[in-house]
């Protein structure tokens, strides 16, 4: 992610040093986008009747095409219409380079540009859903098009084909691109591309697109536009506003309610306890951190996408002091080493310090404060144990044994530690996190099938023993204990099940995972474009337990 991939030409037009091509016309990038991608796709006329307009772009670059499409959408949208824009990019630009490239046009893009910059994802591979506005949702997929398209499920209405010129970037313009476009198209799907290269024309034709050659932009003689030929009808959209009954007012239920309400749905939340003090989400302070993986397994993809999502959507609730991970055994050392070699995290988000890894965007947040924030404008009814719900956010399903889940007791200790000098959260198997300049939180215990409630001295003693900090001036003041619900594969369980959606087993990562879960359920309800890869959706689905039975 850190290699230098661009230079700036006249008018701050970005130029790719890797492909030897410009990102957009030096003369007038906006006019080019309008001609090639908007008019080429007959927009806005062609999207007039679509409630949810689905555009997929190959090669997001600076986002110029997205900003132009979003501006057109804002000018022409009808009541209830939404723009679902998915864009793939294998070399995401730094935020400052996007700003430099597009600053001159900023006023044309309204607040979409500023919102986008404020929510620009950490540049790590994978899916990054971004709510620009309730009716403009962008999903950035940072990956090579070859891998990314295989992970997309939803049929698209429009394709913006904007990789560099086929002569400079032949790897992108291959049959697998056209075949996947065909898989993801219906009989009204249109495409437009700046190129008129014979290999692109043939590829698209062979995949089932009817092609038209029209006048290209500026000095370019021709370009291609067309429509997919098929008897596959455009999928029907869901009802716009529904009422959802959610069981459980912990992080999972509240994050889902909060997102659904943001997406203009009605929600009612039912909580069996009389207040919010009795669940796993009532802790004062917890950690927000990514997961260190040796390879891109689904758990790595899920938790890191969820971490990046939390960083964007809940920035104001995140005390971003950084988390320093230190391996506490040989297996972890090896994993950290592989992570360093295999996963290219950008230097603005990570620092390698000998064998340790500092995640600069990680830190702490308060589960209890988050719950209060989510609940602010929601109708939460306490003291109501319900038997029927649309969404079960009840930590576990029916009992801890169902879906192979486990009950894991945990206790954190809060202490006075004057002059603790902790700059970051320190995670080394156990962890210690600064609460403020003279207080710390540390722990946590992890005890399977221990039902005892409340804080115990035994667990404080255990936490103290594990604490990596000079002990002399530490005075334990208090603590907090709760029960995690963890699945055997350490992934949450999110998706449709026989008695409604379930949203459970968020284990030790409830704060980031509950927000990701909310996005997944909103997607299943047709309120968002696909927020995570097909692999991740399958990996967290309840169907993983029933598939082979
Ligand atoms: C010691 C400890 C430390 C942790 N540290 C961290 C951390 O650092 N970072 C992090 O992200 N996560 C951490 N976690 C995990 C996190 O707290 C959980 O993953 C999260 O709180 C789970 O939220 P939930 O909404 O799924 O469950 P809960 O918060 O338990 O909420 C479920 C709710 O459903 C209600 N309910 C159940 N059945 C019904 C019904 N039939 N009708 C109505 N209501 C019902 C319950 O009463 C409960 O309030 C920690 C957990 C523990 C125990
Ligand atoms: C011409 S530029 C895109 C211009 C862009 N629409 C803009 O407004 O800035 C092409 C983009 O495609 C990306 N790209 C090239 N090959 C790719 C591939 N195989 N997979 C994903 N992205 C690719 C490049 O990194 C570059 O950002």
C-alpha of residue 513 to centroid of ligand 1, in Å: 11
pLDDT at 530: 98
The values of phi and psi at residue 94, to 5°, are: -70, 150
Sequence-separated (6 or more) residues with CB below 8 Å from residue 256 = 246, 267, 391, 393, 503, 514, 517, 518, 521, 522
- Which two three-digit tokens encode residue 9? 């030409």
Q: Are 478 and 454 in contact (CB under 8 A)?
A: no
- Which two three-digit tokens encode residue 210? 């009817």
Mean pLDDT within 508-513 = 98
| CA–CA distance, 365 with 375 (Å, rounded to integer) | 16
In CATH terms, the superfamily for domain 243-545 is: D-Amino Acid Oxidase, subunit A, domain 2 (3.30.9.10)
pLDDT per residue as tens digits for the range 137-179: 999 999 999 999 999 999 999 999 999 999 999 999 999 999 9
The values of phi and psi at residue 100, to 5°, are: -60, -40
Q: Which of 126, 127, 148, 129 is nearest to 138 (CA)?
A: 129
C-alpha of residue 466 to centroid of ligand 1, in Å: 24
Mean pLDDT within 338-352 = 95
| CA–CA distance, 248 with 236 (Å, rounded to integer) | 31
Three-state SS sequence of 27-93: CCHHHHHHHHHHHCCCCCHHHCCCCEEEEEEECCCCCHHHHHHHHHHHHHCCCCCEEEEEEEECCCC
Beta-bridge partners for 137: 84, 131
For residue 87, say if its preceding peptide bond is cis, omega within 30 degrees of 0. no
pLDDT per residue as tens digits for the range 283-324: 999 999 999 999 999 999 999 999 999 999 999 999 999 999
Mean pLDDT within 231-235 = 94
- Which two three-digit tokens encode residue 172? 């992108």
pLDDT at 132: 97
Helices (H), 132-174: 145-150
The answer to whether residue 42 scores a pLDDT higher than 90 is yes
Cβ of 3: how many Cβ atoms within 10 Å? Answer: 8
Mean pLDDT within 541-545 = 94
| CA–CA distance, 191 with 163 (Å, rounded to integer) | 14
Mean pLDDT within 275-284 = 90
pLDDT per residue as tens digits for the range 405-427: 999 999 999 999 998 989 999 99
The structure tokens 């900003």 sit at: 67
pLDDT at 546: 82
The answer to whether residue 549 scores a pLDDT higher than 80 is no
Cβ of 180: how many Cβ atoms within 10 Å? Answer: 18
pLDDT bracket for residue 402 (50, 70, 90): confident
Rounded to 10 deg, the angle between the 251-262 and 510-524 helix axes is 40
pLDDT per residue as tens digits for the range 169-218: 999 999 999 999 999 999 999 999 999 999 999 999 999 999 999 999 99
| CA–CA distance, 390 with 260 (Å, rounded to integer) | 12
The answer to whether residue 547 scores a pLDDT higher than 70 is no
| CA–CA distance, 308 with 323 (Å, rounded to integer) | 14
Sequence-separated (6 or more) residues with CB below 8 Å from residue 548 = none
| CA–CA distance, 347 with 261 (Å, rounded to integer) | 36
Burial pattern 341-366, b for ≥16 Cβ within 10 A else e, equals eebebeeebbeeeeeebbbbbbbbbb
| CA–CA distance, 137 with 213 (Å, rounded to integer) | 31
Ligand 1 pocket check for 286: Cβ under 6 Å: yes
pLDDT at 278: 84
- Domains 6-228 and 243-545 agree in fold: no
- Which two three-digit tokens encode residue 360? 């600069």
Atom of ligand 1 nearest to the CA of 510: 19
| CA–CA distance, 58 with 63 (Å, rounded to integer) | 11
pLDDT at 449: 82
For the chain, the 3-state helix, strand and coil shares in percent, each to the nearest 5, are 30, 30, 40
Q: What is the mean pLDDT of the chain?
A: 95
The answer to whether residue 548 scores a pLDDT higher than 60 is no
> Which CA distances in Å does 411 have to 139, 175, 288, 408, 431?
37, 55, 17, 10, 12
Residue closest via CA to ligand 1's atom 22 equals 510
pLDDT at 237: 87
| CA–CA distance, 509 with 520 (Å, rounded to integer) | 16
pLDDT per residue as tens digits for the range 465-507: 999 877 678 999 999 999 999 999 999 999 999 889 999 999 9
Q: Are 319 and 364 in contact (CB under 8 A)?
A: yes
Mean pLDDT within 343-364 = 96
Which of 365, 367, 505 is the best mutation target for the ligand 1 pocket, counting ligand atoms within 8 Å of the beta carbon and taking the most?
367
Between strands 474-487 and 405-417, the pairing is antiparallel
Q: Which of 81, 157, 63, 183 is nearest to 117 (CA)?
A: 63
- Report CA Rg, the chain: 25
The answer to whether residue 377 scores a pLDDT higher than 60 is yes
- Which two three-digit tokens encode residue 346? 């950008």
Mean pLDDT within 430-439 = 94
Strand order in the sheet with 6-8: 6-8, 14-16, 21-22
Determine the topology of domain 6-228 in CATH.
Answer: Rossmann fold (3.40.50)
Instruction: Supply the DSSP symbol for 120.
Output: P
Q: Are 529 and 129 in contact (CB under 8 A)?
A: yes
**Residue 125 CB burial class (10 angstroms; 0-12, 13-18, ≥19):** buried
Q: Are 340 and 298 in contact (CB under 8 A)?
A: no
Residue closest via CA to ligand 1's atom 49 equals 279
C-alpha of residue 66 to centroid of ligand 2, in Å: 13
Atom of ligand 2 nearest to the CA of 5: 25
C-alpha of residue 505 to centroid of ligand 1, in Å: 9
pLDDT at 341: 93
pLDDT at 238: 78
pLDDT per residue as tens digits for the range 115-135: 999 999 999 999 999 999 999
Between strands 14-16 and 6-8, the pairing is antiparallel
Beta-bridge partners for 427: 325, 431
Task: Name all residues whose Cβ lies below 6 A of ligand 2.
Answer: 23-24, 59, 61-65, 88-91, 144-145, 162-164, 169, 171-172
pLDDT at 471: 65
Atom of ligand 1 nearest to the CA of 505: 26
| Domain ranges, ordered by start, for the chain | 6-228, 243-545
pLDDT at 473: 82
Residue closest via CA to ligand 1's atom 15 equals 508
């Amino acid at each position: 992610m850190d290699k230098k991939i661009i230079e700036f030409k006249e008018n701050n037009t970005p130029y790719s040093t890797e492909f030897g091509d410009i990102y957009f016309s030096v003369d007038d990038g906006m006019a080019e986008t309008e001609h090639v991608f908007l008019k080429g796709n007959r927009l806005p006329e062609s999207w007039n009747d679509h409630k949810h307009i689905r555009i997929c772009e190959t090669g997001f670059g600076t986002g110029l095409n997205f900003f132009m499409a979003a501006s057109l959408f804002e000018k022409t949208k009808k009541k209830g219409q939404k723009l679902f824009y998915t864009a793939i990019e294998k070399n995401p630009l730094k935020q400052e380079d996007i700003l430099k490239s597009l600053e001159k046009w900023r006023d044309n893009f309204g607040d979409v540009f500023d919102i986008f910059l404020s929510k620009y994802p950490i540049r790590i591979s994978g899916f990054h859903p971004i709510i620009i506005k309730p009716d403009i949702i962008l999903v950035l997929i940072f990956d090579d098009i070859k891998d990314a398209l295989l992970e997309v499920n939803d049929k698209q209405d429009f394709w913006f084909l904007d990789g560099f010129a086929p002569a400079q970037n032949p790897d992108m313009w291959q049959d697998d691109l056209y075949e996947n476009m065909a898989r993801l198209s219906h009989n009204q799907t249109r495409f437009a591309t700046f190129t008129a290269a014979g290999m692109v024309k043939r590829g698209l034709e062979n995949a089932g697109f009817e092609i038209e050659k029209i006048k290209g932009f500026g000095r370019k003689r021709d370009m291609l536009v067309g429509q997919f030929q098929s008897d596959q009808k455009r999928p029907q959209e869901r009802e716009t506003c529904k009422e959802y009954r959610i069981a459980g007012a912990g992080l999972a239920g509240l994050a889902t309610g909060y997102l659904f309400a943001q997406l203009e749905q009605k929600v009612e939340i039912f909580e069996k306890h009389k207040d919010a003090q009795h669940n796993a989400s009532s802790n004062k302070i917890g950690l927000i951190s990514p997961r260190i993986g040796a390879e891109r397994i689904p758990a790595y993809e899920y938790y890191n996408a969820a971490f990046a999502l939390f960083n964007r959507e809940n920035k104001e609730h995140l005390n971003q002091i950084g988390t320093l991970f230190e391996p506490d055994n040989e297996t972890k050392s090896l994993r950290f080493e592989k992570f360093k070699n295999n996963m290219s995290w950008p230097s603005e988000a990570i620092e390698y310090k000998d064998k340790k890894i500092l995640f600069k965007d990680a830190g702490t947040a308060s589960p209890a404060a988050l719950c209060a924030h989510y609940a602010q404008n929601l109708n939460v009814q306490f003291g109501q144990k319900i038997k029927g719900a649309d969404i079960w956010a009840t930590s576990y399903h029916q009992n801890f044994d169902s879906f192979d889940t486990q009950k894991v007791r945990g206790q954190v200790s809060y202490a006075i530690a004057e002059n603790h000098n902790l700059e970051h959260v320190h995670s080394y198997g156990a962890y210690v996190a600064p609460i403020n300049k003279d207080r710390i939180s540390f722990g946590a215990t992890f005890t399977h099938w221990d039902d005892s409630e409340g804080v115990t001295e035994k667990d404080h003693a255990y936490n103290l023993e594990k604490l990596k900090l000079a002990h002399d001036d530490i005075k334990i003041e208090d603590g907090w204990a709760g029960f995690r619900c963890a699945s055997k594969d350490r992934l949450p369980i999110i998706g449709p099940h026989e008695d409604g959606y379930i949203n459970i087993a968020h284990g030790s990562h409830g704060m980031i995972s509950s927000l990701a879960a909310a996005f997944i359920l909103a997607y299943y309800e047709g309120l968002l474009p696909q927020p995570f890869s097909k692999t991740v959706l399958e990996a967290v689905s309840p169907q993983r337990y029933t598939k082979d039975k």
